[in-house]
A and B are shown apart, each in its own frame.
Chain A
Amino acid sequence: MNARRLRIIAVTAISFVFLLAWAFPILWSVLNSLKADQDVLAYPPKLIFTPTLDAYRDVLFGSQSILPNLISSLVISVGTTVITMLMAVPAAYALARLRFRAKKFAGFYVLATQMLPPVGIIIPYFLVLRNIGWIDTYQGIILIYLSFSLPFAIWLLVSYFEDIPFEMEEAAYLDGASRLRTLWRIIIPQVRGGIAVTIVFVFLNAWNEFLFAVVLSGNTVRPVTVAMFNFVSVEQTLWAKLAAVSVLAMLPVVVLGIFAQKHIVKGLTLGAVKGGGRR
Chain B
Amino acid sequence: MPTAAQITPDLAAGIVEHDFGRELAQRERRFAAALLAPAFLALMATTTFPLLCLVYTSAFRMDLAMPFSNGFVGFENYRVLLADERFWSSLLVSLVYTGSTVILQVVIGLALALLVMDMKRGQGLFRLIAILPVVLSPAVVGMIWRTFMLAPEFGIVDFLSINAGLGSQNWLGDPLLATVSVILIHTWQWTPFAFMVLLASLAALPEDIYEAARLDRASAWQRFRRITLPLLRPAIVMVIIMRTMVALTAFAAIFTVTGGGPGTATEILNLYAYRKSFTELSIGYGSVLAVALLIVTIIVSGILFALRRAK
**Interface residues in chain A, defined as those with a beta carbon under 8 Å from any beta carbon in chain B:** 11, 14-15, 18-19, 21-26, 28-29, 32, 41, 43-45, 86-88, 90-91, 93-95, 98-101, 103, 106, 109-110, 113, 115-128, 143-144, 146-147, 150-151, 154, 173-174, 179-180, 204, 207-211, 214-215, 225-226, 228, 232, 237, 239, 242-243, 246, 249-250, 253-254, 256-258, 261, 264-265, 268-269, 272-273, 275-277, 279
Contacts and interface: CB of A to CB of B under 8 A. Distances in A.
B50 to A, nearest CB: 4
A29 B147 CA distance: 10
Contacts of B131: 257-258, 261, 264
Given A43-B153, A279-B138, A91 B301 contact: no
Contact of B147 (A116, A232, A268, A279): A232
Interface of B: 6, 25, 27-29, 31-36, 38-40, 42-43, 45-51, 53-54, 56-57, 112, 115-116, 118-119, 122, 125-141, 143-149, 151, 153-154, 156, 159, 188, 190, 192-193, 196-197, 200, 238, 241-243, 245-246, 248-253, 255-256, 270, 273-274, 277-278, 283, 286-287, 290-291, 293-294, 297-298, 301
Given A225-B139, A256-B135, A116 B128 contact: no
B147 A91 contact: no
Given A91-B36, A117-B290, A279-B250, A254 B122 contact: no
Nearest to B290: A120
A217 B137 CA distance: 17
A265 B242 contact: no
Nearest to B277: A123
Contact of A276 (B46, B112, B116, B242): B242
Given A210-B255, A253-B136, A257-B134, A275 B47 contact: no
Contacts of B43: 109-110, 113, 146-147, 150-151
A266 to B, nearest CB: 8
28 contacts: A41-B154, A88-B39, A90-B39, A91-B36, A91-B40, A99-B28, A100-B29, A116-B47, A116-B51, A119-B274, A119-B293, A120-B54, A124-B57, A126-B278, A147-B46, A150-B46, A208-B136, A211-B252, A237-B147, A246-B140, A253-B135, A258-B128, A269-B200, A269-B238, A272-B246, A273-B241, A276-B245, A277-B246
Contacts of B35: 90-91, 93-94, 98
A246 B245 CA distance: 27
Contacts of A45: 156, 159
B48 A113 contact: yes
Contact of B28 (A98, A256, A265): A98
B238 A210 contact: no
A116 B301 CA distance: 12
A156 to B, nearest CB: 13
A174 B3 CA distance: 12
Contacts of A14: 115
A87 B252 contact: no
A210 B189 CA distance: 16
Contacts of A43: 153-154, 159
B242 A272 contact: yes
A123 B153 contact: no
A268 B245 contact: no
**DSSP class of B's interface residues: helix, strand, loop or mixed?**
helix
Given A118-B251, A269-B197, A272-B242, 11 more contacts: A22-B188, A90-B35, A98-B32, A115-B297, A208-B137, A211-B251, A228-B140, A246-B144, A253-B137, A261-B128, A279-B251
A231 B253 CA distance: 17
A273 B242 contact: yes
A83 B18 CA distance: 40
Contacts of B53: 124, 127-128
Nearest to A125: B50
B31 A179 contact: yes
Contacts of A21: 188
Contacts of A210: 137-139, 251-252, 255-256
Contact of B57 (A127, A154, A272, A275): A127
B140 A225 contact: yes
Given A45-B159, A90-B35, A123 B136 contact: no
A154 B127 CA distance: 27
A100 B33 contact: yes
Nearest to B151: A237
A275 B136 contact: no
Contact of B297 (A117, A253, A277): A117
A268 B118 CA distance: 24
Contacts of A249: 137, 140
Nearest to A16: B122
B72 to A, nearest CB: 16
Contacts of A253: 135-137
Nearest to B118: A11
Nearest to B270: A119
Contact of A120 (B38, B147, B291): B291
A119 B283 CA distance: 12
Contacts of B50: 116, 120-125, 128, 147
Contacts of B139: 208, 210, 225-226, 228
Nearest to B122: A15
